[in-house]
Amino acid sequence: MKKELGAKGYLFPMPVAMIATYDPEGKVDVMNMAWGTLCDTNMVVCNLTSSHKTVKNMKAGSDFTIALATKPLLEVSDYFGLASGNVVKDKFERSGLHAIPSKHVKAPVIEEYPLTLECRFHKDYTDEEGNYMVYGEIVNVLADESILKEDGSIDFAAWQPILFSQIDNAYYEVGPKASAAFSAGKIYLQKKH
């Protein structure tokens, strides 16, 4: 028996993405974003509340970087989603993390996160309810050597990314790989009904 749960946003998983921007004076801000995703092979889309300091920075000309949160950085990543740079003027300094300028885009790279997407502002859109959608072109990915295997691929066990669930407002760890994609289903291509 299935039970109807009503209209709920039960799509899982969502990312735990740290968006880093500069304000016009070069001050770093970082916010936590779960309502964002890839929308093309090298394009991200972020759904943001217009009043965020991050949005003001983007509208003032900042590009952005996106770093995926990890288990060791869970608390500080959650903090970036609790405090606003509009109110907490030393929001980034309080985190104790460190930023360096991206070589490719006008945005900071937060050094402690092991994997960072460097995104060039592509276009934005504000809907009737005032929600801000921004598209960014991924022009480079920066990865710490510590999360790379010998063949250069990403070692998920070393990286330890976390996921967000809107179902229970919680963070989850990533489990082991289940199978290769675009491959596991091939047995059905041979099957006759």
Ligand X SMILES: Cc1cc2nc3c(=O)[nH]c(=O)nc-3n(C[C@H](O)[C@H](O)[C@H](O)COP(=O)(O)O)c2cc1C
- 109 binds ligand X per the rule CB under 6 A: no
Contact set for ligand X, span 74-93 (CB under 6 A): 78, 81, 83-86, 91
DSSP code of 137? Answer: E
SS3 157: helix
Query: Judged by CB under 6 A, which stretch of 30-38, 134-142, 146-154, 176-184 contacts ligand X?
Result: 30-38
Q: b/e for 119-138, b at 16 or more Cβ within 10 A? A: bbbeebeeeeeeebbbbbbb
63 lies in the binding site for ligand X (CB under 6 A): no
CA-nearest of 113, 101, 108, 177 to 146 is 113
Residue whose CB is less far from ligand X, 19 or 177: 19
CA distance 187 to 48: 41
126 touching ligand X, by CB under 6 A: no
The two tokens of residue 10 are: 């039960």
Q: Which stretch binds ligand X (CB under 6 A): 25-33, 101-109, 138-146, 149-157?
A: 25-33
Among 18, 20, 28, 33, binds ligand X (CB under 6 A): 33
**Cα–Cα distance between 174 and 51 in angstroms, integer?**
32
Q: Does 159 bind ligand X (CB under 6 A)?
A: no
Q: Judged by CB under 6 A, does residue 35 bind ligand X?
A: yes
29 is an interface residue for ligand X by CB under 6 A: yes
3-state secondary structure of 70: strand
- Amino acid at residue number 54: T
135 binds ligand X (CB under 6 A): no
For binding to ligand X (CB under 6 A), which residues are involved?
A: 29, 31-36, 47-49, 52-54, 78, 81, 83-86, 91, 164
